[in-house]
Amino acid sequence: MPAADVAGVLPGSWELAGLVLNALLGWWWADPIAALAIAAVAVREGWEAGHEAGEAAS
């Protein structure tokens, strides 16, 4: 699976898992942890895109 597909699919599944754990088991902290993980992926993807754009410009 290409990296772009993984970056789109995994965060969504993490969020769904956090919501399910919160709803079924009352783990209120699972959803915020999933959100932090998604934010980390977004920052990493932005960082990589910035580096790729910088390399292409030079």
Tokens in use for 33?
Answer: 């942890």
Residue 15 amino acid letter: E
d(CA 25, CA 49): 38
- For tokens 């902290």, the residue is 29
Model confidence pLDDT, tens digit, residues 1-58: 455 555 567 777 888 888 899 899 999 998 889 889 888 888 988 898 888 877 776 6
pTM for the structure as a whole: 0.67
Do 14 and 31 form a contact (C-beta atoms < 8 A)?
no
